[in-house]
Structure 1
Amino acid sequence: MKTKVGIIGAGPSGLLLSQILHLAGIDSVVLERKSRDYVLSRIRAGVLEQGLADMLRAAEVGKRMDAEGLVHEGVNLAFDGRLERLDLAGLTGGKTVMVYGQTEVTHDLYEARDAMGGTVIHEADDVTPHGLDTDRPYLTWTKGGEAFRVDCDFVAACDGFHGVGRQSIPKDRLVEHEKVYPFGWLGVLSRTRPVDHELIYANHERGFALCSMRSDVLSRYYVQVPLDTDIGQWSDDRFWEELKRRLPQEVAARLETGPSIEKSIAPLRSFVAEPLSYGRLFLAGDAGHIVPPTGAKGLNLAASDVHYLSRALIAHYHEGDESALRAYSEKALRRIWKAERFSWSMTMLLHRFPAEGSFGQRIQHAELDYLFGSKAAMTAMAENYVGLPY
C-alpha cells in the first residue's frame, strides 16, 4: 500500500488533517489502534474557539455544528459570592466560542471521510514508524494476526500522549517540559438543563467548580478533588451537594439535578515536547502537548497544529515549497506556549492550592477583582479564551 501522508490516530486531529488534505487532493491513510465505536464513545470537552469552528466549516464538516452547536458570546466567573460576566464578543470585536462536543466533531469527521472514501483502518495493532530520517518512511501494523505496511512521504502522529509517535523520536533529540497539578476534576454528565446559558467558572474556598453543557438538555459539571480521590465514594447526591456549596446562592438555587450518565476523574497536567518534528515525522495534538482543561484549549490547540501542518503539506505538494514543513515545529510551538501560559494562568487563578493557605486565596480574589475592574485585563483574557489567531 502507498499513500502520501500516513496518519497515526483517528481522533479529531487525525481525521481533520485527513479531511483537509483530501480536499486539497492529497491522499492519506489513517491508522487507529481502537475500534470506531470506542473512539466515538470517548467523552471530551466541547468548547470550540472561533478558529476551529471556521476550520470545520472550511473542511465541509460544519453543517451539524452550526445547526446544533451553542454560540456563546460570554463566560462567567464566580468568586467571593459574586458572579461576573466576561463579554467575549464585546471585548474581541464580535468573536465567540461554540459549545459542541468533541465526540460530535469526531462523528462529523467520520461521516465526511466515509462520504469521500477516505481510508481509516481501525484495530491496527503494533503500529510502528520506520525510516523517519530518510526520504522513504513507512508504517507497519498488524490486524487479525496479519502484517501490513504502507509506504508514505510523511508521517503525522496524532495518536495522543501515550502514542507511538513521540516515542519514535530519539531521546537525545527530544526535550519534554511537564507540570503535574496536585488535584483532578471529578466530572458528571447528566440529562439536565444547564444551570446557565453560558459557562460558569467558580473559585471557592472548598475548591474549583465548573458548570458547562453539551446541549440545551445535557449538562457537564466538575468539582476539584484530590488526586487520590476514590470515585466510588462519590454518590450523585454527594456530588450535587458539593457543587452547590461552591456556587453563588442564586446559581445553586436554580441548579437542576438528576442521575449521572457518566462520572470520571481527570488529572491535570501541562506538558510540551520539543521539537514537534523529526525527519519526516510530525507531531500534532496530545502527541506533542497537554494542557489542563481550565482554559478549554486541548482540542483547539490540536486544531491549530493541524492548521499549520496541513498548510505546510499543501505547500509542499502544490508548490514544491518545503519551508513551511521545516518551520512547522517552531511556528506551532509559539502558539502552543501561549495557550499553555493561558491554561496555566487560569488553573492557578481558579483552583484551591492548600499549600498556599489563606494568603494564596486572597491573592486569587484580588486578581479576580482587578480583572473585572480593568477593561485591558478583561480584553486580554477574552482574546485568549476565544483563541489567538493562527
Structure 2
Amino acid sequence: MERTQVAIIGAGPAGLLLAHLLHLRGIDSVVLERQSRAHIERRIRAGVLEQGSVDLLTSVGLADRLHRERLVHHGVELLFDGVGHRVPLSELSGRELTIYGQHELVKDLVAARLATGRPLWFDAPAVSVEGVEDAPVVRYVHDGREHELRCDVVAGCDGFHGVSRPAAGGALREYEHGYPYAWLGVLAEAPPSAEELIYASHDRGFALHSMRSPTVTRLYLQVAPDESAESWPDSRVWKELAVRLGRDQGFELTEGPIVDKSVTALRSFVVEPMRHGRLFLAGDAAHIVPATGAKGLNLAVVDVAVLASALGRFFADGDESGMDAYSATCLARIWRVQHFSWWMTSVLHLAPDGDPFTRRLQLSQLRYLTSSTAAATSFAENYVGLPFPEGVT
C-alpha cells in the first residue's frame, strides 16, 4: 500500500505538466504510465503550440530547449483556386505560434520530472480506479507486482482509452461527432517547402504542409477512413501532395525519405462534467478535437493549468471553490475550440459525395475569409488561441 496526494494516470504532456505544476506548489504526486519511456518519447503527435502554452512553459522553467529549437510562425497560408492567400496571424491578433514536436516536449517534461526525484513509473499500467467519490484508490502493476496507491485526488490524463473515465460510472455524459474522412500523415526527412503552414482546399481533397524542424517536414492528405497507410506507397504520396499543394506559380514541393506514415480518423468528443468526486479528467481523457486546428495539446495545457491552480488552493487551505469550478471553466473553452475545429474541418475537406453545392459554399467562405479583415481577424484570434481563463497562472 502506498500513499500520495495526487495520483496522475498517464505520462503524456497533460500528466507530466500537471505533475510539474503541482511540484512547484509543494504538492506530492505519483505519475503512472503504461508505456515505456522510449515509446512515449518517440510517439509522433502534434507540433503546434499556442503562445499561451509557450508562455506557461516558459514561466515554470520548462522551455529552455523549446526556445532554442522552435520555429516561430506569424501567419498561415490558405490555398484554394490554385492561389495561396496568407493570413497574417500576429498582425491581426498580436500573438504568435510555435512549431515544436510534441515528442520533443515530452522529452523535456520527462527530464524535468526525473530531476525532481518524485515518482514517475513507466511500464506501470493502472488496472482500476476505485472510491473516487471520497477516498480514491488506484491499483496498478509495476515490476510484476500489483500496487495499491491511496490518494486525495486522481487526475485522469490517460487518453480516450484509459481507465480513468470509466471509473466515473454513469455519472458523465458523452458528446461525440464523427467525420467521413481521415488523414494520411507522413513525416519526411526533407526541408520544408514553405516557411509557414499551408492549408490546401483542393477538388481532390484537403492537404496540409507543416514542419517539425528546418530539415523535417510533416505532411497530411485527406483520405477515406477505411484506407490503410500500406495502400499509399511513397511515390503515390508525393504525387498526390504535388497536385493538392500545387498552384499557378511560385511553389516547388521538396521531397525526401518518408520515415513515418499512418492514417488517423478525425472525430470530436467531449465528456461533461470533467469531474466526478475526487476524479478529475484532463486532455484526451475528457475531449478530442479533429487535428485540423492543432488544438488538442493546447487544450490539455489549459486543463492542467486550471487544475493545478485549483488543487493548489485545496491543499493549501482546504478551499474547494477552484475544484468545483474546474469543469465549467475548462468546458467553456473546450466547446469554443470544438466549434472552431469543426468549422475548419468542414470548410477545408472535400465532401465524400463530391456535392458541388457544398463545394461552392466552402469556396465562398474561403474567399470571404481572405478578403475581409473582420473575418480574417476572427479566424486569427481562434487559430492562435484564446487567452487563459482569468486567475490561472
Name the TM-score class by shorter chain.
Answer: over 0.9
Q: 1:222 aligns to what?
A: 220
What SS does the corresponding residue of 1:345 show, helix, strand or coil?
helix
Instruction: Kindly state the Cα deviation for residue 115 of structure 1 after the two structures are TM-superposed.
Output: 1.2
- In 1, the alpha carbon distance for the partners of 2:312 and 2:253 equals 49
- Report the alpha carbon displacement of residue 356 of structure 1 after superposing the two structures with TM: 5.6
Runs ≥4 residues deviating over 2 A: 248-253
Residue 240 of structure 1: CA displacement? 0.5
1:74-98 Cα offsets, whole Å, 9 max, x none, are 11110111101111110012x0010
Q: CA deviation at 1:52?
A: 0.6
Give the aligned partner of residue 209 of structure 1: 207
Contact 1:192-1:217 within 8 A present in 2 as well: yes
- Structure 2 distance, partners of 1:343, 1:312, is 28
Unaligned runs of 5+ in 1: none
**Residue in 2 aligned with 1:17?**
18
- Equivalent position amino acid for 2:15 in 1: G
Aligned to 1:381: 379
Aligned AA (1:258) = G
Looking at structure 1, the residues matched to 317 and 211 of structure 2 have their Cα atoms a distance apart, in angstroms, of 43
Q: Which amino acid aligns with 1:22?
A: H
- Match status 1:47 vs 2:63: no
Counterpart Cα distance in 2 of 1:22 and 1:318: 13
- The alignment partner of 2:205 has SS state of coil
The alpha carbon displacement at 1:354 in A equals: 2.6
1:175 shift after superposition: 0.9
What residue number does 1:117 align with? 117
Q: Secondary structure at the match of 1:85?
A: strand
Secondary structure (helix, strand or coil) at the match of 1:354 reads: coil
Query: 2:189 is matched by which residue type in structure 1?
Result: R
State the alpha-carbon separation in 1 of the partners of residues 252 and 219 from structure 2.
14
Matched, 1:159 2:151: no
Residue 183 of structure 2 is aligned to residue 185 of structure 1: yes
Query: Over residues 240-261 of structure 1, what are the superposed CA-to-partner deviations in whole Å (9 max), with x where a residue is unaligned?
Result: 0001111133678421111200
Deviations 1:313-366 (A, max 9, x none): 111122431101011011110100001011000000100013361111111010
Query: Secondary structure at the residue paired with 1:196?
Result: coil
Alpha carbons 2:208, 2:220 under 8 Å: kept:
yes
TM-superposed CA distance for 1:126, in Å, is 4.2
* TM-score, scaled relative to structure 2: 0.96
How much is the aligned-residue C-alpha RMSD, in angstroms? 1.2
Q: 1:63-82 counterparts in 2 under 5 A?
A: 63-82=64-83
CA distance in 1, matches of 2:206, 2:164: 34
Q: Quick one: which amino acid aligns to residue 159 of structure 2?
A: G
What amino acid is the match of 1:188? V
- Indicate how the Cα distance of structure 1 residues 355 and 55 shifts in structure 2: closer, same or farther if over 3 A, else same: same
Specify the alignment match of 1:84 in structure 2: 85
Gaps of 5+ in 2: 389-393
Which residue pairs with 1:145 in the alignment? Answer: 144
Cα deviation code 1:206-264 (max 9, x no counterpart): 00000000000000000000011132121111100001111133678421111200000
In structure 2, the partner of 1:104 is 104
Percent identity over the alignment is: 50
The DSSP-based 3-state class of the residue aligned with 2:355 is helix
Paired letter, 2:123: E
The equivalent of 2:391 in structure 1 is none
CA contact (8 A) 1:72 1:98 kept: yes
Of 249, 269, 275, 2:267 maps to 269
Aligned to 2:19, the other structure's residue is in SS state helix
SS in 2 for 1:208: strand
- Aligned partners of 1:299 and 1:132: how far apart in 2? 26
Q: Which moved more, 1:9-18 or 1:145-154?
A: 145-154
Following the alignment from structure 2 to structure 1, what is the Cα–Cα distance between the partners of residues 249 and 64? 33
Residues in 2 aligned to 1:43 and 1:85: alpha-carbon distance in whole angstroms: 27
Specify the alignment match of 1:331 in structure 2: 329
Cα distance in 2 between the residues matched to 1:201 and 1:298: 18
Task: Please say if residues 270 and 340 of structure 1, whose CA atoms lie closer than 8 Å, have aligned partners that are also in contact.
Answer: yes
Q: By how many angstroms is 1:55 displaced?
A: 1.2
Distance in 2 between the 1:266 and 1:361 partners? 23
The answer on whether the counterparts of 1:244 and 1:252 sit within 8 Å (CA) in structure 2 is no
Partner of 2:315: 317
**What CA distance in whole angstroms lies between the structure 2 residues aligned with 1:242 and 1:248?**
10
Residues 83 and 248 in structure 2, CA contact (< 8 A), matched pair in contact too? no
CA-CA distance at 1:141 after TM superposition:
1.1
Residue matched to 2:131: 131
Q: Shift in Å at residue 145 of structure 1? A: 3.0
- CA offset digits 1:186-220 (Å, max 9, x no partner): 01101100011100000001000000000000000
Q: Secondary structure at the match of 1:164?
A: coil
Residue correspondences, number: 387
Is the aligned partner of 1:28 residue 2:26? no
* Contact 2:97 2:384 (8 Å CA) reproduced: yes
Asked whether the equivalents of residues 2 and 152 of structure 1 are also in contact (C-alpha less than 8 Å), the reply is: yes
1:223-372 aligned at under 5 Å gives the runs: 223-249=221-247, 253-355=251-353, 357-372=355-370
Post-superposition shift, 1:174? 1.4
